[in-house]
Structure 1
């Protein structure tokens, strides 16, 4: 009887250790921390200042590590176009690889949007800023210069979206 009791205790202890170890996440591989010191700049694309093309346009954004040590970026940043503080949140495309940036190195992402001349009766926004939030919580702001944008936040297949950082 004593032997059966010891076996039962060992089984119970083993189950407890298994459940505890399953609940503790594995330690992440060491690598650069998320980028917190970055600068942003418009860097091309099909969009023209002032906008109004009534087409889908692109605006390329360059991200520069302005810190003094390596950092990393992952996926598509969150981008909100704001008008008088009211945001239009753009969809984020999935995917993207971890980008490690040495000090001074750059990466890029694309904002794709439906430019609007205001003649088509669409619900439009007149963005003042693009508020960009990277994984890790770093927030940066760019002055929007590409004109009016067709509101797409509630669309089932939005025409306004952000690509992953490359």
Structure 2
């Protein structure tokens, strides 16, 4: 009985740590200035405008240093898909290496999501934008053009997530 209780406590603690780690924003690389002067743009992936494939899709985002000096990024950005101001926060994948961006240079990250046609009975959102908070705190928004997305915030294994910047 005690062993079963201990296992249950460990599982609950692991779930708590997983949910907390998803909410911790990435930070600027130590000793390097955060990227403040950047431009974001869509950069390919499997997602198609209008969406509705009922599959997991990937939309790549390009981060361009539009400032006059090198800056650094470390980790995955925070991304919220918003629908009339209501957010769906995507899980941040852990890890990543420091990316130093010289003026005019670019890096990318991927937004992976479950595209949804609305025919499957899933709870969906129809995002109008992706609000991106880069490591270091710079916030930018991109117009969402990939159609409806299956809501995943409460899923135990979310299919919507963001990769570290590379």
Give the total of aligned pairs: 138
- Does residue 118 (structure 1) correspond to residue 147 (structure 2)? The answer is no
Offset at 1:30? 7.4
CA RMSD of aligned residues (A): 1.2
1:38-77 matches, within 5 Å, as: 38-77=38-77
- Are positions 1:156 and 2:156 aligned together? yes
The aligned residue for residue 88 of structure 2 is 88
Does 1:99 pair with 2:68?
no
The 4+ residue runs of structure 1 with deviation greater than 2 A are: 29-32
Counterpart of 1:134 in structure 2 is 134
**Deviation, structure 1 residue 32:** 2.9
- Cα distance in 1 for partners of 2:82, 2:147 equals 12
- Mapped partners of 1:75, 1:136: distance in 2: 10
Given the two structures, how large is their TM-score scaled by the length of structure 1? 0.81
**CA–CA separation in structure 1 for the residues paired with 2:81 and 2:30:** 35
Distance 1:64 1:115, change over 3 A: same
Larger Rg: 1
Displacement after TM superposition at 1:136 (Å): 1.1
CA shift, 1:52, in A, is 0.1
Structure 2 distance, partners of 1:37, 1:156, is 36
- CA separation in 2, counterparts of 1:150 and 1:30? 36
Match of 1:36 in 2: 36
